[in-house]
Amino acid sequence: MSFYIASSPHTRQRRTTARLMQLVIVALIPGILAQWYFFGWGVILQLLLAVTTAYATESLCLHARERSSLSALRDNTALVTAMLLAVSIPPLAPWWVIVIGVAFSIIVVKHLYGGVGQNLFNPAMAGYVVLLISFPLQMSSWVAPVELTGQHLSLFESIHLMLFQYTSEGYSVEQMRMVASGTGLDAVAMATPLDHIRTDLSQGLTLSESLQAPLFSGLAGLGWQWVNLAYLLGGLFLLQQRVIQWHIPAALLASLALLAALGTLLAPDQLPGMDIHLFSGGTMLAAFFIATDPVSAATSNRGRLVYAALIGLIIYLIRSFGGYPDAIAFAVLLANMCVPIIDKYTRPTTYGHPRRKLQ
């Protein structure tokens, strides 16, 4: 027997980074399939473009840093970043949107800070915010669920739209907003449930009136509720495999749910309830796949609880009172900025030493 001395962090399981990322990819599959089912081929096309761009930019960065490309590419971190960004943007966004976002995430957020394990911010969410601020129109053009519009875009039509922003028959994405299966649905039909509610409230409608729209069905919006449940299933798989711990998902969802419940009590016809906040937008994706990034999140268990609760708070405040309908990317980046101070005041006491006092 040999006795090995290794530096921290110490884990009970001998899993490589590549293996952990593979499990994350497997856990993403249910959510990706649900998005594909409800929103069409654009989801798959965005994934292909994102992965291709990630591998290309990762290879260029590693070559520029005079490091071995093959070994570093095998850790799958670039692949996970690309997938998370791809499923976060509208399926029919122009092809160059995802290329710019992934390139920024890999080159600027990851490699300019030193590569794997050195980034201060979540790479996928940093890329998303850059895209949202730079190209707000393209980043807000979500397609309506297929069940609502009756428009089953073929693979060829989806490629044509992504490349040229026109179908083969000459319809632009904006024109497609105005026609949905001959029913006369207007542009709101292509908004997310959260964006639809925000638009209606700004026009003087009440929440109950807004929820009468065809977009809402069942729990929290046609299609979106099933996408969130699919990502919840994938997140439970990650917990079962001990890829992530329960602290961040539980604290984020509990914080968001508690605030939504309080908002419903205070302004029942102005602020959406727990079902909308938890099962619409990218809530479950954020709770289990984005906020749990081990590099940019807090390190101690207490710190993770504070960090995730802060994300839930910021999400709720921006969704309810801010300028964006879904605030996950902003909330995660703002919480990333707070990680040093969170770690400072939640650092576990060294064994055998008295508990430190806050200074």
Which of 157, 173, 190 is a domain's end point? 190
**DSSP run (H or E) holding 302:** helix 301-321
Model pLDDT, residue 350: 62
Residues 6+ away with beta carbon under 8 Å from 315: 256, 277, 283, 286, 327, 328, 331
Confidence of residue 182 (pLDDT cuts 50, 70, 90): very low
**Mean of the per-residue pLDDT values for the chain?**
84
* pLDDT, average across residues 10-33: 84
Residues 119 and 78: their CA atoms lie apart, in Å, by: 13
Q: What is the predicted pLDDT for the residue at 131? A: 95
What's the whole-number mean pLDDT along residues 247-254? 96
Give pTM, 2 decimals.
0.86
Specify whether 160 is located in the same domain as 246: no
Q: Are 185 and 329 found together in one domain?
A: no
Domain-embedded: residue 6 = no
Averaged pLDDT for residues 172-177: 60
227 and 164 share one domain: no
Count of domains for the chain: 2
**For residue 111, is pLDDT > 60?**
yes
Kindly state whether residues 57 and 116 are assigned to the same domain: yes
Task: Mark which of 140, 171, 190 sits at the end of a domain.
Answer: 190
Q: Are residues 196 and 292 in the same domain?
A: yes
Asked whether residue 274 falls in the same domain as residue 297, the answer is yes
Going by pLDDT thresholds of 50, 70 and 90, the confidence category of residue 129 is very high
Q: What integer is the mean pLDDT of 352-358?
A: 56
The domain boundary, picked from 155, 190, 225, lies at 190
Asked if residue 118 belongs to a domain, the reply is yes
Q: What is the domain range of residue 247?
A: 192-348
Between residues 49 and 192, the one the model is more confident about: 49
Structure tokens at 162: 């992504």
3-state secondary structure of 103: helix
- The predicted model gives 317-341 an average pLDDT of 90
